[in-house]
A and B are shown apart, each in its own frame.
Chain A
Amino acid sequence: MPYSITEKCDGCGACVRVCPADAITGEKKKLYKIDGELCIECGACGRVCPRAALLDAAGVPCVMVKRSEWPKPELIVENCTACGLCVDACPAGCLEMSEFPRSGGFDAYPWLSEPKACIGCGFCSLECPSDALVMKKPEKTIKKETAAARVASEAARS
């Protein structure tokens, strides 16, 4: 089941710009449409939509997340076999195999060559057969979240 757009859409075009599959079409300020055959369910549209107009594959409305807080892949190099499944799986083209070998080895390793282009879909981590890639939220976000959680728990206690 592909993603879909509800009547809430105001045609701002944010989703069109982020969609790596060119699956979303429409005119500015009008209701946009997703081509079900092209949609790869990466969820990027849902994370950028300010109107919460996107429904995910299960029909649940998506929540907007600030781009700086999107999870990004992190490599555990000891597990990596350099098979390149992750690089191929990346729809945003932001992962690349290194041009030089990892330290103490002969194989290249995948690295986030364009972190800004990463859409946080997690396909790389999903495809990896050896658990070498983990999706992690940026440090700052985690700190912010723990701080918020602490405040919330303290508030609850008092």
Chain B
Amino acid sequence: MKKPYMGKILMVDLTGRTIEEEAPSEQVYEQYLSGVGLGAYILYNRVPAGADPLGPDNMLGFCSGLLTGTGSLFSGRWTLVGKSPLTGGWGDANCGGTFAPAIKRCGFDAVFFRGISSEPVYLYIKNGRATLEDAGDLWGRDAVETEEHLKERHGRKAAVAVIGQAGEKVSLIAGVCNDGGRIAARSGLGAVMGSKKLKAVVLDGVQRVGAHDPAEMKRLSRQCIKWVNFPLPLTSARVFARVGSFLRITPLAFPQDGLLYRSILKKWGTGGMNQASVEMGDAPVKNWDGSNRDFPPAKSKAISPAIVTDRQIVRYHCYSCPLGCGGICVSGGKYQRTHKPEYETVLALSSLCMNEDLDSIFYMNELLNRAGMDSISAGSAVAFAIECYEKGILTREDTDGLELRWGNTEAIVALIRKMIRREGIGDLLADGTRIAAGKIGRGSIEFAVQAGGQELPMHDGRNDPGFNAHYSLEPTPGRHTIGAYLYYEMFQLWKRVKDLPKPGMLYTKGDRYTVDADKISMVAACSKYMNLANAAGMCLFGLFVGATRTPMFEWLNAATGRQTTPEEYMEIGGRIQTLRQAFNVKHGVEPRDNFATARALGKPPQKEGANRGRSVDIEAFASGYWEQFGWDGATGKPTAETLGKLGIE
């Protein structure tokens, strides 16, 4: 019977230029699956405590998911792991495209790098044979150009992960790109790749991935496709924005079925929420200080999903995705084609900075993709700089003459360009807001909206406190792809996992802000589920369809041939979470230092808009959440007993 994993990993030492194969034990795959779990296992054991994230001791891993290539759907996410230079602790980021299956097709579950090369190099694997090649001619080129170049050299079928100028210049908000601008952006791991002088990883392989029961895998996939294509009428973008307004005005909260969100993703992509999010108070405005009143529909109509998708030529599907939330758009200007700007990018560059020019967003999106810079962090850094300028903390001299006012499109574009090139004030901001605020001083840290150094994404935790809990308490702080109350409702986990609370049919919004045992177990369940998903290589949007309709647990069983229950799988998720937290503790991160900036928690609460008067008591969440994983409730550190039980040394 075939296994869903290849059973081999590749270890590349860039200093000594040696390449070795290793075979992790069966037990590792059983306890941690693959993907982020395998990555955490390897890095926890091999990166020495206190290692410099940009030094030779840090490791960078490209991991494929356990379900990738087994005939399951939504399983095309690969995970980049390393010690984050941005947060100083555990770092991971995942990305779609075609890179995930390519790792396995080369015969490996993951490729790890350590050491630092003296010259720019790239790794090329052709049918299981790996070599380090000179990348001197590629250094300095942007990500899309480099990818094109490497595909011309090694064949169109090759999958390429690459850093742009931001990674080369070790900007701490750099990510790693593949497939022409899809990017594993968070945690600043592009800087680690840049510090290692590793320009790209090129994979070209044809190995086949097995599954214990391929027929069952296919049967489950067919079922899933039926749900993904389940017809559901959807209104126009204009009406949909008004639905957002309604959700703001009503005192009631409605648990949502993921099928609705699936329709939005199918029709418009993540950008479907652009306007509605601002309206309902989900999207932060004016560096988290403003509200929907500052960015009313008259302004936000510039980023209406209908206008964005008007430029779309064709929908973009990542590998094994029947949904296709991405899009290839006409960009105009210098670059012919661009990936459709995602929700996060659009909001970070529009409402957060009060920018109303969609053309500029398309342009900056392409610039950032090519440079390999995280658009969430970049947008946050711009908003931070504007607020500092408006408040007189930064002067015209500091900004190299840029008139950094809210909504000044020209200045925003110029600043983004400067950040990519690390010129003048751009150099200051290219390492994220926390470091920039540290250098500027004068109370500017108050305006740096981040958690543990990671800039917060475009979902307001004052609107859905679940977001704030995850922003503040995860081993990777400041992430919107792990959980929220909304996500929990869409995952419908209570239908598959015993003892999880079922949300009521209708409840008042105020209920969301009281922290009780049910809420804590909901938040913890999201964490466990997403760790499992990241180990399996699954996409969040696929899981939104619902745990009974996107059968991850069943796929895992059919792929491995085990009879593991959903409860046991959730335990695996908890184990990976604990290992990531243990990595943080080993490297001296105090979990309490990761709490989100006071402003984002609603301290003090806002005076107007959708989230007026709302604040989240993160302290009340913290101890309960940590105890769910067997960590110390006061410090957030895994107890010796828990580590012993999970077999973590």
Chain B residue, CB-CB nearest to A107: B315
- Contacts A40-B206, A83-B321 known; A129 to B315 CB distance under 8 Å? no
Indicate if the CB atoms of A84 and B71 lie closer than 8 Å.
no
Chain B residues contacting A22 (CB-CB under 8 Å) are 126-127, 129
Chain B residues contacting A82 (CB-CB under 8 Å) are 315, 317, 322, 324
- Contacts A20-B206, A100-B314 known; A85 to B225 CB distance under 8 Å? no
Neighbour of A129 across the interface among B73, B98, B312, CB < 8 A: B73
Chain A 65-118 interface residues, beta-carbon cutoff 8 Å to B:
81-85, 88, 91, 93, 96-101, 106-108
Taken residue by residue from 208 to 252, chain B's Cβ proximity to chain A (1 for < 8 Å, 0 otherwise) reads as: 100000000010011001001100000000000000000000000
- Contacts A20-B206, A82-B322 known; A108 to B228 CB distance under 8 Å? no
Distance in Å from the Cβ of A96 to the closest Cβ of chain B? 8
Chain A 12-60 interface residues, beta-carbon cutoff 8 Å to B:
20-23, 37-38, 40-41
Chain A residues contacting B126 (CB-CB under 8 Å) are 22
Distance in Å from the Cβ of B424 to the closest Cβ of chain A? 40
Chain B residues contacting A85 (CB-CB under 8 Å) are 71, 319-320
- Contacts A40-B206, A100-B313, A106-B314 known; A84 to B225 CB distance under 8 Å? no
Chain B interface mostly: loop
Indicate if the CB atoms of A99 and B314 lie closer than 8 Å.
yes
Given the complex of chains A and B, what is the CA–CA distance between A96 and B155 in angstroms? 13
User: Interface residues of B, CB < 8 Å — how many?
Assistant: 36
Chain A residue, CB-CB nearest to B101: A88
- Contacts A21-B206, A83-B73 known; A101 to B128 CB distance under 8 Å? no
Given the complex of chains A and B, what is the CA–CA distance between A80 and B322 in angstroms? 9
Chain B 196-215 interface residues, beta-carbon cutoff 8 Å to A:
206-208
Chain B residues contacting A84 (CB-CB under 8 Å) are 98, 317-321
Indicate if the CB atoms of A21 and B207 lie closer than 8 Å.
yes
Q: Is A127 an interface residue (CB 8 A)?
A: yes
Chain A residues contacting B208 (CB-CB under 8 Å) are 40-41, 123
Distance in Å from the Cβ of B308 to the closest Cβ of chain A? 14
Q: Is B495 an interface residue (CB 8 A)?
A: no
Q: Is A130 an interface residue (CB 8 A)?
A: yes
Distance in Å from the Cβ of A2 to the closest Cβ of chain B? 11
Indicate if the CB atoms of A91 and B206 lie closer than 8 Å.
yes
Chain A residues contacting B155 (CB-CB under 8 Å) are 93
Indicate if the CB atoms of B222 and A130 lie closer than 8 Å.
yes
Given the complex of chains A and B, what is the CA–CA distance between A72 and B257 in angstroms? 41
Neighbour of B317 across the interface among A20, A99, A108, A127, CB < 8 A: A108
Indicate if the CB atoms of A101 and B222 lie closer than 8 Å.
no
Indicate if the CB atoms of A129 and B127 lie closer than 8 Å.
no
Given the complex of chains A and B, what is the CA–CA distance between A23 and B426 in angstroms? 50
Chain B 64-102 interface residues, beta-carbon cutoff 8 Å to A:
69, 71, 73, 98, 101
Q: Is B157 an interface residue (CB 8 A)?
A: yes
Taken residue by residue from 102 to 122, chain B's Cβ proximity to chain A (1 for < 8 Å, 0 otherwise) reads as: 000101000000000000000
Which of A21, A84, A96 has the most chain B CB atoms inside 10 A of its CB? A84
Neighbour of A21 across the interface among B69, B127, B228, CB < 8 A: B127
Which of A41, A82, A97, A123 has the most chain B CB atoms inside 10 A of its CB? A82
Given the complex of chains A and B, what is the CA–CA distance between A99 and B180 in angstroms? 14
Q: Is B442 an interface residue (CB 8 A)?
A: no
Given the complex of chains A and B, what is the CA–CA distance between A106 and B221 in angstroms? 22
Chain B residues contacting A88 (CB-CB under 8 Å) are 69, 98, 101, 105, 319-320
Given the complex of chains A and B, what is the CA–CA distance between A105 and B286 in angstroms? 38
Indicate if the CB atoms of A130 and B225 lie closer than 8 Å.
yes
Indicate if the CB atoms of A83 and B322 lie closer than 8 Å.
yes
Q: Is B156 an interface residue (CB 8 A)?
A: yes
Chain A residues contacting B317 (CB-CB under 8 Å) are 82-84, 97, 107-108
In the complex, besides A23-B127, A81-B228, A99-B313, 14 extra interface pairs with C-beta distance below 8 angstroms are: A37-B128, A38-B127, A40-B206, A81-B225, A82-B315, A83-B319, A83-B322, A84-B320, A84-B321, A88-B319, A98-B314, A99-B328, A100-B313, A129-B218
Among all A-B residue pairs, the 3 with the closest Cβ atoms: A93-B157, A81-B322, A91-B206
Residues in chain A within 8 A of chain B (CB atoms): 20-23, 37-38, 40-41, 81-85, 88, 91, 93, 96-101, 106-108, 123, 127, 129-130
Residues in chain B within 8 A of chain A (CB atoms): 69, 71, 73, 98, 101, 105, 107, 126-129, 155-157, 206-208, 218, 221-222, 225, 228-229, 312-322, 324, 328
Q: List 10 A-B contacts (CB under 8 A).
A: A37-B128, A38-B207, A84-B321, A88-B69, A88-B105, A88-B319, A93-B156, A107-B315, A123-B208, A129-B218
